[in-house]
A and B are shown apart, each in its own frame.
Chain A
């Protein structure tokens, strides 16, 4: 079936470290891919998206590239800040069907000052 798998957390890094959170997906057709972020006590916010192969989504210093050959959409940031501490969810949207969003389990990120 259609699903999203992302690396388990928590991930703990020091400020200014390089971040990678791995995400792979299984889907029929060509889904749109998303990263959502959930800060403590808040709802999910769209961080970035990519709608077709080789697209790169970017926002707030975060980037992710839609890799169809490896069915991956890894999230990266060159220099993390304490304020990036949150839970990050990789997700996909099934094309031309019921249009619902399927989320991964989330990866908690802790950034130490």
Chain B
């Protein structure tokens, strides 16, 4: 039973560029949440997708957008990258939007130069 998988594992971009991160949820899960974890900090909630729609959003600018596909996989897009966007981006999946037990992927480490 595959867990949550994310790609790529590492990414280096320059300021102003755009990036797309990908996530496949745990088998049987239909809800995907994205978190940003800056160095030395706890994960911060970006948004949650369920039934191919954004259901909740944290305090992140519109430069952060996402998508969920019919197979429940998801993408996180960040436009006009800033140095401060450098972080570990974590994807978490759950069932029926219930976050009592989130399953996390290993994350994508994004470095913006």
Contact = CB atoms under 8 A, between A and B. Distances in A.
Interface in B73-106: 90, 92, 97-102, 104-106
A42 to B, nearest CB: 6
B4 interface: yes
Contacts of A103: 42-44
Main secondary structure of the interface of B (DSSP, over half): strand
Interface in B41-61: 41-45, 48, 56, 58
A49 interface: yes
Contacts, number: 54
B40 interface: yes
A45 B107 CA distance: 12
Interface of B: 4, 33, 40-45, 48, 56, 58, 90, 92, 97-102, 104-107
Interface of A: 4, 32, 36, 41-46, 49, 51, 89, 91, 93, 98-106
Given A49-B101, A101-B45, 14 more contacts: A41-B106, A42-B106, A43-B90, A43-B105, A44-B92, A44-B102, A46-B101, A89-B43, A93-B100, A98-B56, A103-B43, A103-B44, A105-B40, A105-B41
